[in-house]
């Protein structure tokens, strides 16, 4: 079978079918998927029937998979392997978490962002599979924004102004924006990643903005001016004409290219509904056969400085 793509917006997002993602893909099929991703930025695959293992194996077609940080105390994880990021609202027992620190930590996901922009090595694809979702009409959707078309539509004057600017990105900045109690001075002492805010998307050759909730400052620019520019660009990219939302059903898989998009989670009643989402995360520019080892930036990041809301520490402190 060959791939069928039905566009969601004229230039952005497509519902794809025609491939069995539970089975190994041929090189031609992998090319079909990457071509669709280069064109649409987000692809939606309904009712895939995938399990954890198939999710990880499918994801390996697109490069090196980031691994979740090791727990320093050797505490067990809810999910079976470190290539699966737990994007759920569940605790280790699979029940809705009541841990206020865990809940607060997730709030940052409701802001427009790109996954892992706070790391030096950027993420290309995020590949999210729905295992359990809130009932229809109860929210929990994911929104996507088209950073390439939005860039194309900027006035030339703005393009000239931002062409060579570099954004300074921090995980803790986005958490602070979402209400976490962390001082700005403290954020500056923690790891940050510098990325140009305009870049050429390798697969399509189109220029795109790379800026979102993790972007704290513009290098060399007055702080207030830089933050206003960041806010203005996010507001530009996230206009309704550049966005759509995906309402999840169990078995849905969505792939988005963080180097051409922004995304955010939609609201839902966190205390009432389970939302079990699991994500693999592909590192930019890595070939499938390059299985890197001994390079674990997530663990390194969290080892060097704790999260502003450290779930384990909060639990130990009896919060
Ligand atoms: Fe995300």
Using one digit for the tens of pLDDT, what is the confidence trace for 258-268? 999 999 999 99
Average pLDDT, integer, range 138-161: 98
Is the pLDDT score of 78 beyond 60? yes
Give the distance (Å) from ligand 1 centre to CA of residue 264.
6
* Cα–ligand 1 centroid distance for 109 (angstroms): 6
Query: How far does Cα 159 stand from its chain's mean position?
Result: 25
Per-residue pLDDT band at 186 (split at 50, 70, 90): very high
How much is the pLDDT for 107? 81
Q: What is the pLDDT of residues 65-74, one digit of tens each?
A: 998 887 766 7
Please state, as a whole number, how many other Cβ atoms lie within 10 Å of the Cβ of residue 178: 17
Q: Is the pTM of this model over 0.75?
A: yes
Task: Give distance in angstroms: CA of 142 to centre of ligand 1.
Answer: 9
What separation in Å is there between the alpha carbon of 157 and the centre of ligand 1? 31
Q: What is the mean pLDDT of residues 299-307?
A: 60
pLDDT digits (tens, 9 = 90+) for 125-136: 999 999 999 999
Tell whether the model's pLDDT for residue 319 goes beyond 90.
no
Rounded distance from Cα 114 to ligand 1 centre (Å): 6
Range 226-243 average pLDDT? 98
State the distance from the centre of ligand 1 to the C-alpha of 220, rounded, in angstroms. Answer: 28
Cα distance between the two ends of the chain: 53
Q: Quick one: what percent of the chain has pLDDT higher than 90?
A: 76
- Name the domain count of the chain: 1
In order, the DSSP letters of 104-168 are HHHHGGGS-B-TTTTSSS-EEEEEEEEEE-PPTTSB--EEEEEHHHHHHTS-HHHHHHHTT-EEE
Question: From the CA of 156, how far away is ligand 1's center (Å)?
Answer: 30
Max avg pLDDT among 104-118, 132-146, 175-189: 132-146
Question: Rounded to the nearest whole angstrom, what is the distance from the C-alpha of residue 168 to the centroid of ligand 1?
Answer: 18
**What pLDDT shows up at residue 105?**
75
> What pLDDT does residue 297 have?
72
Q: Which domain holds residue 165?
A: 4-316
CATH number at residue 59: 3.60.130.10
Q: Is 158 a residue whose pLDDT tops 70?
A: yes
CA–centroid distance, residue 133 to ligand 1 (Å): 16
Distance 128 CA to ligand 1 centre (A): 9
Ligand 1 centroid, distance to 29 Cα (angstroms): 26
């Amino acid at each position: 079978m060959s791939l069928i793509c039905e566009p969601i917006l004229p230039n952005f997002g497509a519902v794809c079918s025609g491939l069995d993602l539970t089975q190994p893909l041929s090189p031609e099929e992998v090319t079909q998927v990457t071509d669709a991703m280069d064109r649409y930025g987000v692809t939606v695959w309904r009712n895939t029937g995938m399990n954890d293992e198939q999710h990880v194996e499918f994801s390996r077609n697109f490069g090196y998979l980031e691994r979740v940080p090791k727990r320093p105390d050797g505490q067990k994880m809810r999910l079976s392997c470190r290539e699966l990021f737990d994007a759920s609202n569940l605790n280790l027992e699979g029940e809705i978490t009541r841990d206020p620190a865990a809940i607060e930590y997730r709030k940052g996901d409701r802001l427009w962002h790109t996954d892992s922009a706070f790391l030096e090595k950027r993420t290309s694809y995020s590949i999210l599979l729905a295992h359990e979702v809130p009932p229809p009409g109860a929210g929990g959707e994911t929104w996507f924004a088209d950073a390439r078309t939005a860039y194309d539509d900027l006035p030339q004057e703005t393009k000239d102004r931002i062409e060579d600017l570099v954004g300074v990105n921090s995980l803790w900045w986005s958490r602070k924006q979402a209400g976490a109690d962390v001082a700005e001075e403290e954020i500056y002492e923690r790891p940050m990643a510098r990325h140009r805010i305009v870049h050429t998307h390798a697969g399509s050759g189109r220029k795109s903005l790379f800026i979102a909730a993790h972007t704290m400052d513009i290098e060399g620019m007055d702080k207030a001016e830089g933050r206003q520019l960041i806010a203005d660009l996010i507001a530009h990219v996230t206009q309704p004409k550049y966005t759509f939302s995906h309402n999840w059903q169990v078995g849905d898989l969505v792939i988005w290219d963080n180097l051409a998009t922004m995304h955010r989670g939609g609201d839902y009643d966190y205390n009432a509904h389970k939302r079990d989402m699991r994500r693999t995360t592909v590192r930019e520019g890595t070939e499938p056969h390059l299985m890197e080892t001994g390079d674990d930036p997530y663990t390194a990041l969290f080892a060097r400085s704790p999260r502003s809301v450290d779930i384990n520490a909060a639990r130990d402190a009896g919060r």
